[in-house]
């Protein structure tokens, strides 16, 4: 066998073993993040559910508007501001990623 091919194969094997070790270390050290990541996963699942059921969101909005109009308008303004901020941040992130 060609010595350079053998050398490359050994280097590949060493890198794979080092990668396995790093992954195991990361998993061990990231164990403390599990509760936070589980909460984030739950929030994503909830957001997907709300996205698939907009009639629920609209119904709650109408109920709030009827029950407490002042509070509903305040929350609507906050939601609108949050949505605008999110859109601007997305645009900035896309612009920054295209500059790289």
**Cα(83)–Cα(89) distance, rounded to whole angstroms?**
10
Q: What's the longest Cα–Cα distance across the chain?
A: 81
Angle at Cα 59 formed by Cα 55 and Cα 63, nearest 5°? 175
What dihedral do alpha carbons 29, 31, 33, 37 form, nearest 10°? 130
| Run of H or E including 57 | helix 54-67
Judge contact between 13 and 7, C-beta under 8 A.
Answer: no
Query: What is the pLDDT tens value at each position of the chain, 100 positions in all?
Result: 788 999 999 999 999 999 999 999 998 888 888 888 898 999 999 999 999 999 998 998 888 889 988 988 898 899 999 999 999 999 888 888 887 6
């Amino acid at each position: 066998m060609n010595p350079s091919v053998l050398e490359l194969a050994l280097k590949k094997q060493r890198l794979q073993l080092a990668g396995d070790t790093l992954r195991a270390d990361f998993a061990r050290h990231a164990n403390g993040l599990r509760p936070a990541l589980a909460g984030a996963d739950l929030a994503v699942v909830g957001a997907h559910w709300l996205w698939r059921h907009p009639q629920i969101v609209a119904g709650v909005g109408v109920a709030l508007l009827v029950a407490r109009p002042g509070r509903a308008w305040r929350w609507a303004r906050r939601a609108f501001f949050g949505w605008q901020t999110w859109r601007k941040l997305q645009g900035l992130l896309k612009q920054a990623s295209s500059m790289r």
